[in-house]
Amino acid sequence: MICLTLAEPTLERAKEKVQKNREYIDLCELRLDYLDEKEQKMASHFPSMVDLPVILTFRRVQDGGHTQISEKSRRAILFQALDGDFSYVDIEEDVKKSEIEDKAREKGIRIIRSLHDFEKIPDDIFSKIFHMAEKGDIAKVAVTPRSFLDVLTLFRAEEELKGVEKIVIGMGEYGVCTRILYKRLGSLLTFASDEEVAPGQISAHKLKVEYMADQVNERTAIYGIIGNPVMHSASPLLHNRGFHAINFNAIYVPFLVDNVRSFFMFAEYFKMRGFSVTVPFKVDVLSYLGNVTREVKQIGSCNTVVRVPGMWKGINTDYYGFIKPIMNDIESGRIKNALVIGAGGASQAIVWALRNYGVKVTILNRTLSRAENIARLNLCDYDSIENASSYSGSVDLIVQTTSVGLYPDVNQNPIEGFKFTGSEIVYDIIYKPRMTKLLEEAGKAGCTLHFGSEMLIEQGKLQFEAFTGYHYPRWVDPGL
């Protein structure tokens, strides 16, 4: 079930939020600690204002609540609100047997016994959950993983506590995957909100439409992307849309990872068939691969890992993703020489791809030694980015691979003042924004433009093929 957390000052506003999200949610949680004082007194009416089950919660400040109030008053408000037809009431695990509990049991309102930890995962989390659920209540733990290994611990909840009714949530960025894959942790529900009421919460629309999180079952294949940071990635949208379109029982999830080894443990635990790799792990994964393609070997980095019999295999789809949009121009001879701005990870794959097709390359970079390294490996020229203007009029293709101009610094251009003749093909691999400052200037001069989103889509489609064995469905908009 997807549960919308309502953190609104009035019941009417809470009702509007429910209506706005109605098609994505199965139940909602009314947070009394966000309601205005006089609205708190009328909270018992709320279940009759909406057409779905409601959880009643008055969170204490130490558990992430919004209002500082005496414990006596908090309990009095909760007690009064229980006159309403709530389906569940949240009671913290350290609250001793109380009149609230008695009233809830009398009225047949299910109790959610909750525990919050904003610092860590408690050592004895599984025995805690077991005891919290002992009286037939639903145990809820919202805890904070500090590493991906902690995340793995939470995912073991289902195996350790089979049959126990529970809600297990990892808060913060590491925990986002536990909110999406809640069913694989054996959680009864996942919480959603439009404005991140708790750290790491995502919207109900995303959970229901993008991830189809409520459709996950024990046979659903888990795919994903590992990176740090990773939450900005556009890949989940592309892959999930593709999976849904061909009715492939799979989900693609962003995993914030601090250590590649712990992710390979996760991948083995869930028998993953593949995953994408982004910065800074494209080199770290190499030592876990039993087999790599020629491109991975030569470029020295891998952005796609797939399971083959007995081992993991590494592929580099950045290489093909980059070259495909300009392939015709290379094959026709329109592109004979190129200027590649930047000498980072992406540049490495791009220079190798261009050289592989016989294009003469000059690499320009701020840090000359990095340009020199790539140039040496690929038998090409290099120079300082400060000398960019001296290449004006002498190249067919300009590829921009630095992070300069990337959102939010959208007004920056790494080769400011460069004179385009209008005959160049200019390719910026940044995909957010689509039209970078550099492309805007090149476009004004009449150059042919290529966008980072083209590369992203092409490399993603190839990953999709490697993951599923099917072509990316032609009729699907990958959302980039």
Instruction: Report the catalytic residues.
Output: 282
Distance CA 94, CA 116 (A): 11
Q: How far is the CB of 225 from ligand NAP (least distance, A)?
A: 12
* Residue 241 CB partners (closer than 8 Å, separation 6+): 476, 477, 478, 479
Q: What is the C-alpha to C-alpha distance for residues 142 and 121, in angstroms, rounded to an integer?
A: 9
CA atoms within 13 A on the CB side of 327: 10
Distance from chain centroid for Cα 233: 6
Residue with the two structure tokens 């002498």: 394
Closest distance between ligand NAP and the C-beta of residue 55, in Å?
Answer: 40
Q: Which two tokens stand for residue 323?
A: 């070259």
308 to each of 70, 219, 272, 290, 313, how far by Cα in Å? 59, 19, 11, 9, 6
**From the CB of residue 195, how many other CB atoms can be counted at a distance below 10 Å?**
9
Question: What is the Cα Rg of the chain in Å?
Answer: 27
Q: Residue 267 belongs to what H/E stretch? A: helix 260-269
Q: How far is the CB of 453 from ligand NAP (least distance, A)?
A: 7
Instruction: Give contact residues for ligand NAP (rule: CB under 6 A).
Output: 279, 318, 321, 342-347, 365-367, 370, 385, 401-404, 406, 414, 429-431, 452, 455-456, 459
Smallest gap from residue 245 Cβ to ligand NAP (A): 21
Give the nearest distance from C-beta 284 to ligand NAP in angstroms. 13
Q: Is 84 helix (H, G, I), strand (E, B) or coil?
A: coil
Residue 291 vs 367, nearer CB to ligand NAP = 367
* Cα distance between residue 65 and residue 72, in whole Å: 16
Q: Where are the alpha helices (DSSP H) in 82-160?
A: 99-107, 125-132, 148-155, 157-160
**Cβ closer to ligand NAP: 186 or 414?**
414
Strands 54-57 and 360-365: unpaired
C-beta of 298: minimal distance to ligand NAP in Å? Answer: 17
The DSSP H or E segment spanning 111 is strand 110-116
Q: If you count DSSP H runs as helices and E runs as strands, how many of each does the chain have, helices first?
A: 19, 20
Q: Are 193 and 201 in contact (CB under 8 A)?
A: yes
Q: How far apart are the first and last CA of the chain?
A: 29
Nearer to ligand NAP, 112 or 397 (CB): 397
Nearer to ligand NAP, 114 or 401 (CB): 401
288: nearest Cα among 307, 312, 306, 309: 312
Give every strand in the sheet of 448-450, ordered side by side.
381-384, 360-365, 337-341, 397-400, 425-428, 448-450
Judged by CB, which is closer to ligand NAP: 126, or 320?
Answer: 320
User: CB of residue 401 vs ligand NAP: minimum separation in angstroms?
Assistant: 5
Partners of 381 in the beta sheet?
362
Using the structure block, give the residue that is written with the tokens 């121009």.
329
Residue 329: what residue type? Answer: D
Pick between residue 9 and residue 280 the one whose CB is nearest to ligand NAP: 280
362 within 8 A of 383, measured Cβ to Cβ: yes
Our CB check for ligand NAP shows the closer of 5 and 402 to be 402
User: What is the smallest separation between the CB atom of 248 and ligand NAP, expressed in angstroms?
Assistant: 23
| Smallest distance from ligand NAP to CB 149, Å | 26
